[in-house]
A and B are shown apart, each in its own frame.
Chain A
Amino acid sequence: MPKDKISRTGKTRRILSGTLWLLLYIILAAGPLLLTAAVTRDLPRRSFWRELSVALGFIGISLMALQFVITARIQQFKEPFGSDIVYQFHRQISIAAFLFIIAHPLIIFIESPDALRLLNIFTAPWRARMAVASTIALIAIVVTSLWRLKLRIEYDRWRIIHGLLAMITVSAGFVHMFLAGIYTDVPVLRTVWMVYALVWIGLLAYTRVIKPWYEIRHPYKITRVIPELGDAWTIVLKPDGHSGMRFKPGQFTWLSVRDTPFKKKEHPFSFSSSAENTDTLDLTIKDLGDFSSTIHSLKPGETAYLDGPHGALTMDRYPDMDGFVFIAGGIGVTPLISMLRTMADRNDQRPVQFFYANRDWNSATFRDELAALEKNLNLELIHVLEEPPGNWTGEKGFLSAEILGRHLPDTRNELQFFMCGPEPMMDAVEDALQKLRIPARRVRAERFAFV
């Protein structure tokens, strides 16, 4: 099959599977409600506001349970969208779920103020206690997620708290729903919600037990820890007693070191090695003051656990593209150097324009290797420095539409853009690319911070 046809088929397949996943999501979120409407015609009628409250409660609990599917790192589900978009969706839909769930008791309290007595957990029945527990946990999730940095909650601790609170929200929500009865007393609806609850418990078992167990059975040994420019370190990993994993250039993995994967103290890092190198895997990590500051203290021989590969930021999705534009900010270079190293190994001579933004010249991780790759590949390197040295003749300041516009070729709309970097830079570059009228479908991005 010709190259462009293979790619178009891949693209169509991604669009189709993305649409199907979204459709399935809507069906799973709203399906039980539609089924309820269909099978409960004989039940006594209640007021509009009471029914709306119940509907929002059902929808809210479905959406919260579905959050576990979204974050379970199921590759088939994430593949059409990419991790970045999936996590954005996770964050944004959680606000909608929060509003639906909060509206559920509020409507009841406004319609029948008598119901406020149910907030007294000492005298209230268990169904109300469960509702209070679920709602408080949900409020705590939103507060700790939106204001994690302001509350100075360290990332590892936040992830544990986040997981626990989410489990309390959903499990207490399900118990409340079953105890509250009326609709869940109807056998077919009770069965449907039981299936939901069981699938949710199964998903928990998969992410919290089965996956960590698999990681423990497939460990990696650290063979080297190499200092790099820009306060970064490369750790070289070798599969220990198994054949390792194949990744696509640009993808990332979750890394656990010095802790069992069961503790979920893991962090996402891009592979920096070539995807063609199957013996070892490189992860290049910048010391950002959190977990990453322990990387340099790792010693050869230590064990690491990986959950991956993940992510859709990869040129392998675009085999028919005639050229690429890479945009990196600081340590965002890692997925892009993986792509360049892979291109070198594959002798891929498609043109690549690489905008590399850094604070200063010594922060430019891999700058020497990039210069060497410029000779072997069809690569044009454009360094952009905020604080350039005195004799600097290259681009200065922040990466802007002007700088991009000066270098991008006229065929810019036919190229595929990949960018990776810190949030503020990504926002600025996305705006710049919009100004330059680069179509959104041509831009693939990955941000460092999930929260």
Chain B
Amino acid sequence: MHRNLTLLTVYLMSAGILLISILFALHQSSDAAILF
């Protein structure tokens, strides 16, 4: 219950942080300069 909720929070946060990292890489990189 609480364990599952904690795990879900960790999964969601990790996924969110990974997404931010990917967006950061897209934003900063020459490969995807056209996107931003």
Which residues of B are interface residues toward A (Cβ below 8 A)?
1-3, 5-7, 9-10, 13-14, 16-18, 20-22, 24-33
Contact = CB atoms under 8 A, between A and B. Distances in A.
A51 B1 contact: no
B22 A433 contact: no
Given A84-B2, A430-B3, A434-B1, A52 B22 contact: yes
A96 B10 contact: yes
A51 B24 contact: yes
B6 A48 contact: no
A92 B6 contact: yes
Interface of chain A, main secondary structure: helix
A124 B23 CA distance: 31
Given A45-B29, A93-B10, 7 more contacts: A33-B24, A37-B24, A40-B28, A48-B29, A51-B24, A55-B21, A89-B9
A13 B28 CA distance: 40
A112 B27 CA distance: 21
A52 B6 CA distance: 27
Contacts, number: 91
B21 A52 contact: yes
A46 interface: yes
B11 to A, nearest CB: 9
Contacts of A100: 17-18, 21
Contacts of A36: 24, 28
A85 B6 CA distance: 7
B10 A440 contact: no
A153 interface: no
Contacts of A298: none
A50 B21 CA distance: 11
Interface in A1-57: 22, 25-26, 29-30, 33-34, 36-37, 40, 45-52, 54-56
Interface in A62-83: 63
Contact of B32 (A48, A50, A445): A48
A88 interface: yes
Which of A30, A51, A433, A443 is most buried by chain B, counting CB atoms within 10 A of its CB? A51
Contacts of A45: 28-30, 33
B21 A440 contact: no
Which of B24, B26, B28, B33 is most buried by chain A, counting CB atoms within 10 A of its CB? B28
27 contacts: A22-B9, A26-B17, A30-B17, A33-B20, A34-B24, A40-B28, A45-B28, A46-B30, A47-B30, A48-B29, A50-B29, A52-B24, A55-B22, A59-B20, A59-B21, A88-B3, A92-B6, A93-B13, A96-B14, A100-B17, A100-B18, A100-B21, A430-B1, A434-B1, A440-B5, A443-B2, A445-B2
Contact of A26 (B6, B13, B24, B27): B13
A263 to B, nearest CB: 31
Contacts of B24: 33-34, 36-37, 51-52, 55
Nearest to B24: A55
